[in-house]
Amino acid sequence: MVMSSCLDDLSLVQACRSGQTEAFGVLVRRYQDRLYPTVLRLAGSAEDAEDILQDAFVRAFEKLAQFEGESSFYTWVYRIAVNLALSGHRRRRVRSAVRLARHRLRSGGAHPADESIEADPAAPLERSERDRLVQDALGTLGAEHRAVVVLKDFDGHRYEEISAILDIPVGTVRSRLHRARCELRDRLRALVDDEQPVRQGSSSIS
């Protein structure tokens, strides 16, 4: 029997526990794309993120008997993925900042009134490279500080939720977040400034 993708998570979990393992495949397809951005920000590279995400679902499958339904299945596997990403993070070397991203950060996002982002063919590349610049800065943070920034500022979790996910007091979440934001600002500024000598005297983008 083909497992219906319309079933709710709990029904799929129960079906998997009863031996219909294809139900777990539905859960993987339902949430892997949603989990990927978080894991990528924590792990630092697409290759690591894919490995961690696969491992997270494997572990979730192996521990399915421990899922008691007190939280949603997504929250449960999210915690597994986050903890795997933090424990298995490989520190990356910071790559050079991209020129267009550097310019936008230094200008605070201001543009001439007649400039249209939609009409600029370089805009998608600029956004992509600006995201990479932010990812580079995240990668220079310690795992504990990177985690609170990603969970709060990127994923929008409340302090209490982050406390539960990371198993640390709310006060620790707040203090780490404050320090992490300060560090992230400094890292971004440093990455931007590192590119300055490269761009001096250059009037166009090659």
pLDDT given at position 116: 42
Residue of higher predicted confidence among 131 and 101: 131
Q: What is the pLDDT of residues 60-82, one digit of tens each?
A: 999 999 998 888 999 999 999 99
- Does the predicted TM-score (pTM) go above 0.85? no
Distances (CA, A) of 13 to 27, 53, 79, 137: 8, 19, 17, 38
Q: Which domains are delineated in the chain?
A: 9-87 (1.10.1740.10), 99-199 (1.10.10.10)
Dist. CA 206–CA 200, nearest whole Å: 14
Residue among 116, 157, 36 at smallest CA distance from 166: 157
User: What is the C-alpha to C-alpha distance for residues 74 and 185, in angstroms, rounded to an integer?
Assistant: 31
Q: What is the pLDDT of residues 131-155, one digit of tens each?
A: 778 888 898 899 999 999 999 999 9
Q: What is the pLDDT of residue 106?
A: 45
In the predicted model, is pLDDT for residue 201 greater than 80? no
Both tokens of residue 168? 């640390």
Those residues with Cβ within 8 angstroms of residue 197's Cβ, 6 or more apart along the chain or in another chain: none
Are 106 and 69 in contact, with CB atoms under 8 Å apart?
Answer: no
